[in-house]
Amino acid sequence: MPSTTNSLFLNQLGSIVGADHLFTDADKLQPSLTEPRGLYQGSAMALVRPATAGEVVNIVKTCAAAGVPMVPQSGNTSLCGGATAMSSQTIVLNLSRLTQIRQLDSTANSLVAEAGCIIANIQQAASEAGRLFPLSFAADGSAMIGGAIGTNAGGTNVLRYGNTRELVSGLEVVLANGDLLDDLRGLRKDNTGYDLTNLFIGAEGTLGIVTAAKLKLFAAPAQCHTAWLAIDQISAGIDLLSDLQQLSDGAVSGCELMSSTSLQFALRHQPGARAPMTTQAPWYLLLELTASDHFPLASLLEKRLSQALDDGQVRDVVIAQSLQQGEDFWAIREAISAAQKHEGGSIKHDIALPIQRLAKFVDATLPLLGQKLTDIRPCIFGHLGDGNLHFNLSQPVEMETSEFLAQWSEFNRLVHDQVDKFGGSISAEHGIGQLKREELVRYKSPVALQLMRQIKRALDPDDLMNPGKLLPDK
Ligand SMILES: Cc1cc2nc3c(=O)[nH]c(=O)nc-3n(C[C@H](O)[C@H](O)[C@H](O)COP(=O)(O)OP(=O)(O)OC[C@H]3O[C@@H](n4cnc5c(N)ncnc54)[C@H](O)[C@@H]3O)c2cc1C
């Protein structure tokens, strides 16, 4: 863009949001151009921070008229480079000033939140109204609902309450031409054609910009029981989970798996963390069950877990004796991602498998990794109940980080081919972003890819919405 046109365009943006919310200086842009893993260093013409949906509409219209692409950004915690702008011809459209909770209806169990509401603040608002907003993950203190919708975030409560997709009943979205699609009615029944809301969930900002969402709330559970288990086989954990779900009428809300390596990493690097038990095992499970007051959950859990101990299904069990002890268990689990950074280079895989094939997948894949690189340290953890593993590979201790990371594509190929063979998905909850665009070509069916391209062309013919993300170039 010529410099006079450029300054005219930037003036127009400035007049929409005010000079205080338009940034062009490199140091002001910098935080929005880096992403949590440091995999990408972005570039952009400007960062613009609107405060209302109306301002977003005007920005999008201005960009559409000037042919300037936009990268929607909320908390910037996504792990695939989805929110990182990669060209000095684009703008970062940051939604973090859209922070209103417009409505909370405890009779209808719903809440309307603007896109920049931090997930933890939505949880808090729901809790103050005696309700539960169940979306929860380690970055929920900085991730925002617009970003969670963009990535269809999962987290630790999916087993019971579903992904973000299942927690959204309506959306307000600014389309690529600046039109506002307003459907915040959140009707439970509405069979009037294509499900437009769902198109934008998990679209990673490539189809439109979410400005607000109607979210589902749930009864706040009156009792919560947490247990830490040591197990020898993943399959034993899966059998136990299935049994507990049956016995408790689906009260298991979380079932997290951790390998012994991932636990060691968390204990080594999380200040104050203490192992819940002294028993050593190849795998550990963190179970959480929640229910209303009337359900005899504590006795049911104790009985089933002591039976599991007697039968040798589990090696050891600790049931948390207080909410604090339960929270301490969770703090260990949530420390794993960050702890891995202190162990050098790490090649990540966010994969999903049919739960009945997950243990076989792990058994078949670990030896292949060892054959390829002795002393590689698989750091495997994740949401076992959802069949979702963070199948991460930490570098051998003695190896140069750069030498290890140079093998990123080769390890991706090995792991993802195995995932495909076992009928799984190469992206369970983090999305595609920039990181897995090429992988998509290999593993998504050509018919599905073609359909995705047609949808993109129909909604964003000029490729202005988060270009270079999600869809591969050809
Ligand atoms: C320590 C850690 C733990 C994590 N654990 C989990 C986990 O357990 N489960 C999980 O699913 N994810 C997890 N994540 C990934 C990440 O936190 C989620 O994907 C989160 O939902 C991203 O939200 P955000 O506000 O940071 O979005 P951003 O990073 O800002 O954006 C994410 C994507 O959505 C698009 N986008 C942003 N805002 C909008 C909008 N308003 N409208 C349309 N598109 C938009 C962006 O362009 C980008 O493609 C974790 C991340 C970290 C750092």
Q: Residue 184 belongs to a domain with what CATH number?
A: 3.30.465.10
3-state secondary structure the chain: CCHHHHHHHHHHHHHHHCHHHEECCHHHHHHHHECCCCCCECECCEEECCCCHHHHHHHHHHHHHHCCCEEEECCCCCCCCCCCCECCCCEEEECCCCCCEEEEECCCCEEEEECCCEHHHHHHHHHHCCEECCCECCCCCCCEHHHHHHHCCCECCHHHHCCHHHHEEEEEEEECCCCEEEECCCCCCCCCCCCHHHHHCCCCCCCEEEEEEEEECEECCCEEEEEEEEECCHHHHHHHHHHHHHHCCCCEEEEEEEEHHHHHHHHHHCCCCCCCCCCCCCEEEEEEEEECCCCCHHHHHHHHHHHHHHHCCCCEEEECCCHHHHHHHHHHHHHHHHHHHCCCCEECCEEECCHHHHHHHHHHHHHHHHHHCCCCEEEEEEEHHHCEEEEEEECCCCCCHHHHHCCHHHHHHHHHHHHHHCCCECECCCCCCCCCHHHHHHHCCHHHHHHHHHHHHHHCCCCCECCCCCCCCC
Same domain, 110 and 211: yes
Same domain, 207 and 246: no
pLDDT for res 3? 72
Does any domain span residue 22? Answer: yes
Same domain, 14 and 34: yes
Which ligand 1 atom is at minimum distance from the Cα of 148? 21
Q: Of 182, 197, 219, which residue constitutes the final position of a domain?
A: 219
Residue 429 Cα to ligand 1 midpoint, Å, equals: 9
Atom 32 of ligand 1: nearest residue by CA position: 147
Please indicate whether residue 78, judged by its CB atom, sits closer than 6 Å to ligand 1. Answer: yes
| Residue whose token pair is 């269809």 | 152
Please indicate whether residue 393, judged by its CB atom, sits closer than 6 Å to ligand 1. Answer: no
Compute the half-sphere exposure of residue 181: CA atoms within 13 Å on the CB side of its CA.
19
C-alpha to C-alpha distance for 117 and 123, rounded to whole angstroms = 10
**Domain interval for residue 174:** 101-219
Does any domain span residue 105? Answer: yes
Please indicate whether residue 82, judged by its CB atom, sits closer than 6 Å to ligand 1. Answer: yes
Please indicate whether residue 148, judged by its CB atom, sits closer than 6 Å to ligand 1. Answer: yes
pLDDT for res 53? 98
C-alpha to C-alpha distance for 220 and 50, rounded to whole angstroms = 34
Does any domain span residue 56? Answer: yes
54 beta partners: none
Please indicate whether residue 314, judged by its CB atom, sits closer than 6 Å to ligand 1. Answer: no
Same domain, 376 and 329: no
C-alpha to C-alpha distance for 232 and 145, rounded to whole angstroms = 38
Which ligand 1 atom is at minimum distance from the Cα of 433? 49
Q: Of 341, 363, 394, which residue constitutes the final position of a domain?
A: 341
pLDDT for res 36? 83
Residue 199 Cα to ligand 1 midpoint, Å, equals: 17
C-alpha to C-alpha distance for 431 and 445, rounded to whole angstroms = 17
C-alpha to C-alpha distance for 288 and 245, rounded to whole angstroms = 11
pLDDT for res 2? 65
| Residue whose token pair is 């000029």 | 462
pLDDT for res 87? 96
208 beta partners: 175
CATH number at 300 reads 3.30.70.2190
Q: For 439, left (φ over 0), alpha (ψ -120 to 50), or beta? A: alpha
Contact yes or no for 158/383 (Cβ under 8 A): yes
Pocket of ligand 1, candidates 40, 52, 77: which has the most ligand atoms within 8 Å of its Cβ, to mutate?
77
Same domain, 210 and 240: no
Residue 262 Cα to ligand 1 midpoint, Å, equals: 23
Does any domain span residue 283? Answer: yes
Does any domain span residue 436? Answer: no
Contact yes or no for 91/47 (Cβ under 8 A): yes
Sequence-distant (≥ 6) Cβ neighbours of residue 286 within 8 angstroms: 226, 227, 228, 229, 254, 255, 256, 258, 329, 330, 333
Does any domain span residue 233? Answer: yes
Residue 364 Cα to ligand 1 midpoint, Å, equals: 31
Please indicate whether residue 430, judged by its CB atom, sits closer than 6 Å to ligand 1. Answer: yes
Does any domain span residue 39? Answer: yes
Pocket of ligand 1, candidates 47, 74, 174, 436: which has the most ligand atoms within 8 Å of its Cβ, to mutate?
74
Please indicate whether residue 137, judged by its CB atom, sits closer than 6 Å to ligand 1. Answer: yes
**Mean pLDDT of each 10-residue bin along the chain, 474 residues long:** 81 97 95 89 96 98 98 96 96 98 97 98 98 95 98 95 97 98 94 96 98 97 97 97 96 97 97 95 98 92 97 97 96 95 96 97 97 96 96 97 96 98 96 94 95 97 97 84
Please indicate whether residue 173, judged by its CB atom, sits closer than 6 Å to ligand 1. Answer: no
pLDDT for res 388? 97
For the chain, what is the domain count?
4
Residue 312 Cα to ligand 1 midpoint, Å, equals: 40
What's the maximum distance between 2 C-alpha atoms anywhere in the chain?
Answer: 78
Same domain, 213 and 260: no
pLDDT for res 346? 95
Please indicate whether residue 205, judged by its CB atom, sits closer than 6 Å to ligand 1. Answer: yes
CATH number at 12 reads 3.30.43.10
Contact yes or no for 428/386 (Cβ under 8 A): yes
Residue 73 Cα to ligand 1 midpoint, Å, equals: 9
What value, to the nearest 5°, has the Cα angle with vertex 220 and ends 217 and 222?
A: 165
Does any domain span residue 291? Answer: yes
